[in-house]
A = this chain, B = another copy of it.
Amino acid sequence: MKSKLKNTYRQVLRWGNPHYEEKLNEQGKKTIQDLVGIPVTEVNLPTFLPGEKEITLDKPIGLPPKYVLEFTDIVGAENIKTSDFDRVKHSAGKFYGELMQLRQEQVLTPPDLIITPSDEAQIETILQRCQQWKIPVVPQGLRSSVTKGVGLPDGGIALDLTAHLNQIISFDEVSQTVTAQSGITGPTLEKFLNSKGYTCGHFPQSFEFSTLGGWVAAKGAGQCSTGYGKIEDMVLSLKAYTPSGIIQNETYPKSAQGFDIMPLFIGSEGTLGVITQVTMKVRKLTIKNRSNACIIFKDFENAAAAMRTCIQGQFGLPHLFRISDHEETEVAFRMKGFEGSFSDKALQALGYKPNSRALMFISVEGDKDYTSFVVDKIKSTAKKFGGRSIGSKPTRKWLEQRYHSAYMREPLMDLGLMTDTIETAAMWANIEKLWKNVRTYIKARPNTVCMCHISHVYENGANLYFTFITPTDKTAPSEDYKTFHAGLVDTILANKGSLSHHHGIGRALAPWMKEKLGERSFELMKSIKKDLDPNGVMNPGALFD
């Protein structure tokens, strides 16, 4: 559907394509109203904080004109954007707090210029000038950060790498690697690889609106990370321009050349420099061999125990490996209209009861015999924990709609609902306690949906991914979120979860970093930043608060 006005706040806050709007269907609306206690009559209320106003900034460009001229000289006028809409668009990612501000038509702190450099030489010069003149600069991909990873609190330059630094540099079929520029989008890179019969295997939820550089900088994980690894397992080498010079490592499968500094750029979130090239592992595309399964358990605890037993079973790895807790399972069943169906009654008769049962999704890629071998092993392990296979269709459906959920935030927020996700990682011994205590915190809010899944699985632990939907305080929606979010992070940390498993830190979680990592470790991080970025111009405020 097309929005009537152009250049609205709404177009900036929208997930992905600014012209595409997602609606809740009637089944979805009914489910939500049941769960969060909105009376039926209110479902069709006017949109809460629609942000449909056209953007006009009354904030002029803060950079002195001579600097603007100098940057124009470097990249050419065609590579500099300064419109109000562009400045707001490049001021924010997709953090809930940012979306709520945009809905309120509040002016975020915008960049002065959006520069789309044509090559690495231009980046080098731009960084030299920014360093010299102490101008903040933020490397940007497609700005899908949900932790306020992009932003310019004091103006400066948004360095958009997607316009020109988006090429494949080389592809090595013998060593199975691809080298590409960091501004290439996930779909473009994957399409190229697929055409050669390969895949990168990295499919974060934001895949459609993500870039290679963003994957690395934010230290993300894809939906198939259990088999293909997290991004830090995929990067073999990279090149980064820092205000202090170029860091580039040679490509080896492994080495012992002293301590390795390349990994410092994975998770650097633009604070150390601009990643311009990345060499990634690739694998042969084996979608045609995919084996899928879906298993239902009587409760989340048994699902988690089965999952742990499988991942520690030394019989190979699934690629997609996922369990939903009872509430996420229930919401999924309701949304899909499964609840109350004949199949549902059959499952209930077998003891898989609503508000207790938990789903597991499995998809294995690779060699044809291997995929069925691993799926069979998982099924037989699951049986020992009361798991019952319910066919491969739910997993196939899940895969078809794999990028869908991010689009739901907009229609939910339109209903005046606070909806966000938060994620963490923990060791297996700690998973259950962490899950319960975070749930308790979230559910203490009245009429609140709290769904949780495990979707990135390791021998020693896993992530926990929480999605909550709750009526917001419409009189102070930003403050309501801020207080609730802070308590949520505190609860995670008090229960020994990591500050993030794959969303990253940005500005949203930076205030917790020092306490979480320890003062000496944090000092070392700052010292590394100081060495590469002496004047602190790179993405100021991210990671280090």
Contact = CB atoms under 8 A, between A and B. Distances in A.
Contacts of A219: 256, 258-259
Interface stretch (A18-26, A105-113, A182-190, A527-535): A527-535
Interface residues of A, number: 94
Interface in A162-197: 172, 174-177
Nearest to A256: B219
A267 interface: yes
B370 A175 contact: no
Contacts of A221: 254, 256
A502 B256 CA distance: 5
Interface string A512-545: 0100111111011101100110000000000100
A73 interface: no
A500 interface: yes
A505 B255 CA distance: 10
Given A284-B314, A505-B258, A517-B257, A429 B174 contact: yes
A490 to B, nearest CB: 16
A256 B172 contact: no
Contact of A459 (B253, B373, B430, B461): B253
Nearest to A427: B175
A313 interface: yes
Interface in A478-532: 496, 498-505, 513, 516-521, 523-525, 527-528, 531-532
Interface stretch (A84-92, A244-252, A340-348, A435-443): A244-252
Q: Pick from A218, A248, A315 the residue with the most CB of B within 10 Å.
A: A315
A205 interface: no
A174 B266 CA distance: 29
A193 B456 CA distance: 27
A479 to B, nearest CB: 27
Interface string A128-161: 0000000000000000000000000000000000
11 contacts: A177-B427, A252-B461, A255-B425, A256-B501, A257-B500, A259-B265, A259-B266, A259-B267, A313-B367, A370-B373, A373-B373
Given A247-B521, A255-B499, A315-B369, 7 more contacts: A246-B520, A255-B425, A259-B268, A260-B263, A315-B366, A316-B370, A527-B531
Interface of A: 172, 174-177, 218-221, 230, 232, 236, 242, 244-261, 263-269, 271-272, 281, 283-284, 286, 308, 312-316, 365-367, 369-370, 373, 377, 425-430, 456, 458-463, 496, 498-505, 513, 516-521, 523-525, 527-528, 531-532, 543
